[in-house]
Amino acid sequence: MSSFKALRVHQADKGVEARIEDMRVEDLSEGSVVIRAAWSGINYKDALAVTGKGKIMRTLPLNAGIDVSGTVETSEDPRFLPGHEVLVTGCGLGEVHDGGFAGMVRVPGDWVVPMPDGLDLRRAMAVGTAGFTAGMALVRMEQNGQEPGHGPILITGASGGVGSFATRLFSRAGYSVTAFTGKTDAADYLQSLGAADILDASQVDYGKRPLEKAIWGGAVDSLGGDALTWLTRTVKPWGNIGAIGLAAGIELNTTVMPFILRGVSLLGINSVECSRDLRLAVWQRISELLQPDDCDAIISGEVGLDDVLESAESLLARKARGRTLVRLA
């Protein structure tokens, strides 16, 4: 098989160095399915990995990219035939296994998801791990009793990849969404995704009491730290909080009061390691809810492998909005 380009991260004297290299399939991490990659997308984790600003990769050198969509090239797994359109998100891709910022990817068959109805190679990567994780929050919260009549859903980091898809998916599922954002110019964008209200993060008084006035029916949090602490104290009785991210911090300084006096549930969302049944159920729910134009509205741009580093810096500097796709074909 001919060679292809990959964005490969190496150990350097200080931190890491990401560079584009020629590789062959036999150089890749092992697996039963070889995928000719078409698209990937830049997630927060990818930005940390390629810049070295976070320790995401647990072995080096490694191809970056936690997501990929493409066409099966060869397969030893009877569930997948050459030509099938598929996607992979998480599962260790780009963390312990050569990832999606490459012309070819080789993975175990259990990681491979057949292209869900209504999505295509490009739209699937607009969703990517970010949208999948937002979808998992919706599924888990509803499994735990969340329903639109319970009250508005507060979504933090709303203009980011996870936040944009959470805004779109929850509003499509019939919830009233309040988008919490630090970007003063994001209101029109977030309203176009279905947000009923916008909350300017700089204007929010987090308060100090173990229980503040209960406002939110539930919440989806990409930030951690003070924002998540505040959410535990302001979600209504029996509401759910999907704890997804740590963009603002890893601390959580709350008390047991919201849990024992209001029955609030803090649900952990792990998009990397989950059962295959849950993975397929989340993709099914996403594909049922999304309308054809929804993904296009969240795509903020497309880059080639050459420009991934610059886009990653921009994402970490909080300048990015929605999802940036990586063109691989």
Ligand X SMILES: NC(=O)c1ccc[n+]([C@@H]2O[C@H](COP(=O)([O-])OP(=O)(O)OC[C@H]3O[C@@H](n4cnc5c(N)ncnc54)[C@H](OP(=O)(O)O)[C@@H]3O)[C@@H](O)[C@H]2O)c1
What is the nearest approach in angstroms of ligand X to the Cβ of residue 179? 8
Residues 44-83 that bind ligand X (CB under 6 A): 44-45
* Residue 182 binds ligand X, judged by CB under 6 A: yes
CB of 25 to ligand X, least distance (A): 28
* Shortest Å, Cβ 324 to ligand X: 9
Inter-residue contact 168 to 138 (CB < 8 Å): no
Based on the shown chain and the rule CB under 6 A, indicate whether residue 20 belongs to the binding site for ligand X. Answer: no
- Counting contacts by CB under 6 A, is residue 325 touching ligand X? no
Q: Mask of contacts with ligand X, 113-142, x by CB under 6 A?
A: ----------------xx--x---------
Q: How far is the CB of 83 from ligand X (least distance, A)?
A: 30
> What part of residues 206-225 is at the interface with ligand X (CB under 6 A)?
222-223
Stretch that binds ligand X, among 27-35, 74-82, 108-116, 180-188 (CB under 6 A): 180-188
Taking the complex as a whole, the smallest distance from the CB of residue 3 to ligand X amounts, in Å, to 31
Tell me which stretch binds ligand X (CB under 6 A): 40-48, 74-82, 118-126, 212-220.
Answer: 40-48
Widest distance between CA atoms in the chain:
63
Among 91, 162, 286, 308, binds ligand X (CB under 6 A): 162
Q: What is the 3-state secondary structure (H, E, C) of the chain?
A: CCCEEEEEEEECCCCEEEEEEEECHHHCCCCCEEEEEEEEECCHHHHHHHHCCCCCCCCCCEECCCEEEEEEEEECCCCCCCCCEEEEECCCECCCECCCCECEEEECHHHCEECCCCCCHHHHHHHHHHHHHHHHHHHHHHHCCCCHHHCCEEECCCCCHHHHHHHHHHHHCCCCEEEEECCCCCHHHHHHCCCCEEEEHHHCCCCCCCCCCCCEEEEEECCCHHHHHHHHHHEEEEEEEEECCCCCCCCCCCCCHHHHHCCCEEEECCCCCCCHHHHHHHHHHHHHHCCHHHHHHHEEEEECHHHHHHHHHHHHCCCCCCEEEEECC
Residue 245 sits in the site that holds ligand X (CB under 6 A)? yes
* Site size toward ligand X, by CB under 6 A: 32
Provide, rounded to whole angstroms, the least separation between the CB of residue 87 and ligand X.
15
By beta-carbon distance, which residue lies closest to ligand X?
160
Binding mask 91-110 for ligand X (x = CB under 6 A): --------------------
**Residues making contact with ligand X (CB under 6 A):** 43-45, 129-130, 133, 157-163, 181-183, 186, 201, 222-223, 244-248, 269-272, 315, 318, 320
